[in-house]
Amino acid sequence: MEGGHCSDQDFNDLYAAFYARINMTEAEIIKAAEIKADLKKRGLPIGKKDGDIFIAAHRIINDYTLVTDNTDDLQNINGLKFVNWKERN
C-alpha cells in the first residue's frame, strides 16, 4: 500500500512472529505490516499464513518480480509484481 500505515499491533505481531526466525530488514517488516493492514481493511485475507505477506514485502521493497503459481492469494497486494510460471509460454 503506497504511503500506507499499519497499526502498532499489526507491526508487533508480524515482528514477533518472523523477525527472530528470518533476517528481514525493518523496511520489509514495516511493508509486511502495511500489506496485512491494507488487506484486513479491504476484507481480503491472504493465504493461511503470514509467510506470503513477508515474501510479497521482500519483493516490493527490493523491486523484484515474484515467480509463482499462487496468484489467487497475491493478486490483491498493491505494488507486487508477479509472473505465474505455469502460464508462461
C-alpha cell at 43: 476484507
Task: Give the pLDDT confidence of 46-78 residue by residue, as tens digits.
Answer: 666 678 888 899 999 999 999 988 888 788 999
Bigger pLDDT: 38 vs 22 = 38
Q: Give this prediction's pTM.
A: 0.71
Whole-number pLDDT of residue 73? 79
For residues 30-45, give the mean pLDDT.
89
The whole-number pLDDT of residue 2 equals: 41
Number of domains in the chain: 1
Question: Does any domain span residue 34?
Answer: yes
Residue 49 is assigned to a structural domain of this protein: yes
Contact 1, 34 (CB under 8 A): yes
- Cell numbers at 75, concatenated: 493478486
Give Cα 23 to chain centroid, integer Å. Answer: 15
- In the chain, what percentage of residues exceed pLDDT 70? 75
- Distance of alpha carbon 25 from alpha carbon 61, whole angstroms: 10
CATH number, residue 77: 3.40.50.1010
